[in-house]
Amino acid sequence: MMEYEKNIIGEGKLPHLTHLLHNGFLVGNDKESRERRAHVKEEITSELLNWGYPLEVSENEGIVCESAIEDDLFKDFMPVPFPAPVHPTFTFIDLFAGIGGIRIPYDELGGKCVFSSEWDRKACQTYFANFGVVPYGDITKIPASMIPHHDLLLAGFPCQAFSIIGKMLGFADTRGTMFFEIERILKVHHTPYIMLENVKQLVGHDKGRTFKVILDHLDKLGYYVKWKVLNALDFGLPQKRERVIIVGFLNKADFEAFNFDFTPKPYDLREILEPDCQVDKSLFATDYIIKKRKEKTVGKKLFYPSIWHENKSGNISVLDYSCALRTGASYNYLLVNGVRRPSSRELLRLQGFPEKFRIVVSHQDIRRQTGNSVAIPMIRMVAEKIYEIIKRHKNEASKTQGWKEAANQ
């Protein structure tokens, strides 16, 4: 057993144990490997119960996979909606992972997440329920050398320090310094490809000086960078959510090959909403709130379905889309047809999460988690373009290897 494995098993913590199983460190069909897998799975079950996770024990729990080399080691233990590929085409890490919104498109393309980090406990529960891995915690306490080698670094680093809703303190806010944690990791790993996401206010924060610092630091690390502010409305989602996407490449030819060109897709609010009869009654506004909303919309054109948005000054806009989902916003700032708050599933749909995405936390937690998450179709467009570049390199490397093998025969 490698010393790295001993350290992980010995600590008995959920992030270590689930990453150990997920990343294939326990592959093998010999007796010792099977015993190690059984031991780790027992520890995971125990830790989950101690953690307070709503564990559903399946009839397969505790059964050791006999074909572990070919099968997903986690699948026989606890099936998840988004399992890691058995034969990945590339690897990536998921920093400030939230509930995995950035990860999903890269999973779809055959990528394998070999490391994830997220400090929020409830977000970690949602992440585990869907991906089978509990993210590591505070990234500032994790040595870069502990993070596995990877092809791509993904990071939706904390945006509150730069957002309109926050105090816009930037690097003066501890959350704003998280970019330098990304830089610390890149210095050690020299990751070939990076994709970062943040609020559009990052671009103009402190008259553009904050953004310039980020771009200058990436340049000093050898990255050729492109960036663009994108809007979720252009990607088939009825949500006005503008975010800056930053991509970086160590190879100049890759940088030149990448572009943000895409064809806008129409959105339809009707595809998001559930029938009122299926929505929990607790989400309906009080008669007083509904009356106040109607008073403030007198003289305005009303239509249905619609989202009624109340801004900071109390003005009401009736729209065929949602304004940006926000963490910490007033409870009634978004009302469907002026009468109720969006359900948990509707909030996830507004961000483009697949229907199979599991909800294992309270509605209040989902409100906060979706407010912190990303528009998945937007990320998917960027992911597909990055993957085409990665795939080209993989194909070229495979051809070169084939030529070498043929020459040696």
Catalytic residues: 159
Report whether 362 contacts 408 (CB < 8 A). no
Whole-Å CA distances, 238 to 18, 305, 325, 368, 377 = 36, 12, 11, 19, 12
Query: What torsion do the CA atoms of 103, 106, 110, 114 make, to the nearest 10 degrees?
Result: -50
- At residue 36's C-alpha, the angle toward residues 30 and 39, to 5°, is 140
Report whether 249 contacts 208 (CB < 8 A). no
CB-based contacts of 223, cutoff 8 Å, min separation 6 = 186, 194, 248, 249, 250
Task: Give the span between the Cα atoms of 253 and 246, in whole angstroms.
Answer: 17
Residues in the chain: 409
Query: What torsion do the CA atoms of 14, 15, 19, 22 make, to the nearest 10 degrees?
Result: 50
Cis peptide before 305 (omega within 30 of 0): yes
Give the chain's radius of gyration (CA, Å): 23
